[in-house]
Structure 1
Amino acid sequence: MDGAGPDGLERLWTPHRMAYIKGENKPIGPASDPKGCPFCEMPKRDDADGLIVARGGLVFCVLNLYPYSPGHLMVCPYRHVADYTDVDDAEVAEIAAFTRRAMRVIRAASGAHGFNIGMNQGAVAGAGIAGHLHQHVVPRWGGDSNFMPIIGRTRVLPQLLGDTRQLLADTWNGLAAA
């Protein structure tokens, strides 16, 4: 058998996406309540378990559990704060420094051709976890958008999250700070 189903189509099973679709691990309470916030819980775990690539004094860099592309990182303040206008100057500076470093690390580790960088502020703007600010650093490669996300509404990720975290953490620690 060649792997094709009775209709002749290949199947790419992505059961991990069901957790995202169902909203598992999303905080239920008000955005101002850090209880149950995954971005508040991650730093309490060890780096590998929490998918944390690097830690700073005010922010940390973590893999997105539901990435758009391999190496999709997020820069999050430790402090539970929702809006960019509410972070202090030191947090802004460290978010910026970690974002720049994340770009350098991803380029060194996987040769990304470009990046999408941004924050979705509020649920209506697309923030999955609106109560805790996080900046996305999404690596892009020429031709990385194909029929799978457009037609099949599926993302194909060629690397396990734990392997990606280890690669980026090793590169983060080995790359000279700039």
Structure 2
Amino acid sequence: MDQLWSPWRFAYVTTADGAPRPGVPARLNAWPGDLHCVFCNLIASVNYAIEHGMSADDAEEAGGLVKRGKHCFICMNAYPYTSGHVMVMPYAHLDRIAKLEADVAHELMDLAQMTERALEQLYRPHGFNFGLNLGQAAGAGVAGHLHMHAMPRWVGDTNFMTTVAETRVLPEDLGTSWKRLRETFAAIEK
């Protein structure tokens, strides 16, 4: 019998009834606040760690932050559908595209374009999924904070595990994905 090993899912399974402060990674739990939003908590806990002596690289790795912009950032999806599944979002807690200031909306698209180039270079996929789910009825898991999913896709990447067992098998752990993506984004900017 084959066994699947997916240690990153442990956090999801053990907090299925609701994390006390969603979005605060264990290594960044010194942050004392709670903004009641997984993404706002994530960025606040990373910033707090940096302000209190943790190196930016260590704090951003702990939080899965791949790239920061002036108004938006890119972070790993903690429960990815594919290796390389990231999200692009504004720092501001907004729930609609129409609420974004023009410069924020432009940066969101600029980072989405950069993400496409990075995923193409790193994973050589056959295609991509980029999408926004606005509102709970549209499938947004975090309806209050707009975020764009971005992931590489391959022909045939849906197999019996996904269709029959409702299980995704990912060949790369989140730490490795973060490191490789971070290096790729840095190389693209040069």
Report the TM range for the smaller structure's normalisation: 0.7 to 0.9
Kindly tell me: are residues 60 and 120 of structure 1, through their superposed partners in 2, closer, same or farther at Cα, counting changes over 3 Å?
same
Structure 1 residue 35 corresponds to structure 2 residue 27: no
CA contact under 8 A between 1:62 and 1:74: conserved in structure 2? Answer: yes
State the distance in 1 between where 2:78 and 2:91 align: 18
CA contact under 8 A between 2:21 and 2:41: conserved in structure 1? Answer: no
- Counterpart residue number, 2:161: 148
Alignment map for 1:59-98 (pairs within 5 Å): 59-98=72-111
What whole-Å deviation, never above 9, does each CA across 1:100-159 have from its counterpart, x for those lacking one? 100100111111221011100111111011010000111101211111111111111111
State the distance in 2 between where 1:17 and 1:125 align: 27
State the distance in 2 between where 1:87 and 1:27 align: 26
Q: Which residue identity does 1:155 align to in structure 2?
A: R
- Counterpart residue number, 1:7: none
Q: Which residue identity does 2:43 align to in structure 1?
A: P
Question: Aligned-residue CA RMSD in angstroms?
Answer: 2.1
**Any unmatched runs of 5+ in structure 1?**
5-9, 29-33
Structure 1 residue 11 corresponds to structure 2 residue 3: yes
Q: Which has the higher contact order (CA 8 A, sep 6+)?
A: 1
Alignment map for 1:137-176 (pairs within 5 Å): 137-176=150-189
Higher helix share: 2
Structure 1 residue 134 corresponds to structure 2 residue 126: no
Kindly tell me: are residues 39 and 26 of structure 1, through their superposed partners in 2, closer, same or farther at Cα, counting changes over 3 Å?
farther
TM-score scaled by length of structure 1: 0.84
Kindly tell me: are residues 62 and 23 of structure 1, through their superposed partners in 2, closer, same or farther at Cα, counting changes over 3 Å?
farther
**Any unmatched runs of 5+ in structure 2?**
23-33, 47-58
Q: Which residue identity does 1:149 align to in structure 2?
A: T
Residue 91 of structure 1 deviates from its aligned partner by 1.0
CA contact under 8 A between 2:126 and 2:155: conserved in structure 1? Answer: yes
Secondary structure at 1:100 match in 2: helix
